[in-house]
Amino acid sequence: MKSSIEVHNLTTAYGGAPVLWDIDFQLPTGQIIGIIGPNGSGKTTLLKTIMGLLDPASGFVKVFDQPLDKVREKVAYVPQRESVDWDFPASVYDVVMMGRYRKYNLFKRTKDPDREIVLQSIEKVGLSEFKDRQISRLSGGQQQRVFVARALAQGADLYLMDEPFVGVDAATENSILNLLSEMKNEGKTVVIIHHDLQTVSDYFDYLLLLNTRLIARGTPAEVLTKENLTNAYGGQLTLLSKVVNLIKQNEFPIREKDSDV
């Protein structure tokens, strides 16, 4: 299996307390991959460690069989919308153009091909009519699409997205899902933190299930077993039993509002 990400013996800690403990896995390329687990299980910490935003206490990460610094231009990161200062005075176009900046041309003038790619990326997320609008004047779903467009403009091979479906409407969610399918068809790899168990089988080809340690990895059918879910989520068995039954029946209803497990 050709790997997009390799993580070996990884431990990451805050204030001396491990948030991730001895994590070890490889992720395939050209698939849409979900990272699931309860709140506080280390999902965002894992993405930030892969991105080099956090230093591990031990272990190491490789991206496309290289240290991240050698392939950073191939990796795009979409942070949680809540972590962004949306009052920053920038337009949709300005933010998406940031995806065209590289270490070697940060202070160089952008060129016509860059501008064309930016406009195409904005169009792909359905925001062409808002390209000159300040990001503070956008809805939550529109703001999320801006950061997806910025990642698209980067032209990466690996996309790391931290809960891109949180706080967005159904139209935005469908739009993002369609984009992800297109990216997969182009051979891109997309890794997404996701909190809604009832949609994971619809959305993802491959899953990581975390709770400080790696509980399971594999296809949704391999990961979403009652034993694995119980090991990850503990006492939340009522909802989990419902989810397991739904998985067995191949029925995936619209998720319940505010269900965060």
Parent domain of 203: 3-249
Q: Domain count for the chain, please give it.
A: 1
The pLDDT of residue 209 is 96
The CATH number linked to 182 is 3.40.50.300
The pLDDT of residue 112 is 79
How many C-beta neighbours within 10 Å does residue 169 have?
Answer: 13
Is 67 contained in some domain?
yes
Is 257 contained in some domain?
no
Is 119 contained in some domain?
yes
The pLDDT of residue 87 is 75
CB 145 within 8 A of CB 165: no
The pLDDT of residue 66 is 93
E strand or H helix that includes residue 77:
strand 75-78
Q: Write the CA distances from 113 to 110, 117, 125, 193, integer angstroms.
A: 8, 6, 19, 32
Q: What is the chain's pLDDT, residue by residue, as a tens digit (261 residues)?
A: 678 999 999 999 987 788 999 999 999 999 999 999 998 899 999 999 999 999 999 999 999 999 999 998 899 998 887 767 777 888 999 999 988 875 445 555 667 788 999 999 999 998 999 999 998 898 888 888 898 999 999 999 999 999 988 877 788 888 888 889 999 999 999 999 998 888 898 899 999 999 999 999 999 999 999 899 989 988 664 555 555 565 555 544 434 333 333
Is 111 contained in some domain?
yes
Contacts of 87 (CB under 8 A, 6+ apart): 136
Is 72 contained in some domain?
yes
Question: Directed axis angle between helix 237-249 and helix 226-233, to 10°?
Answer: 150
Is 260 contained in some domain?
no
Torsion-angle region of residue 86: left (phi > 0), alpha (psi -120 to 50) or beta?
alpha
pTM tops 0.95: no
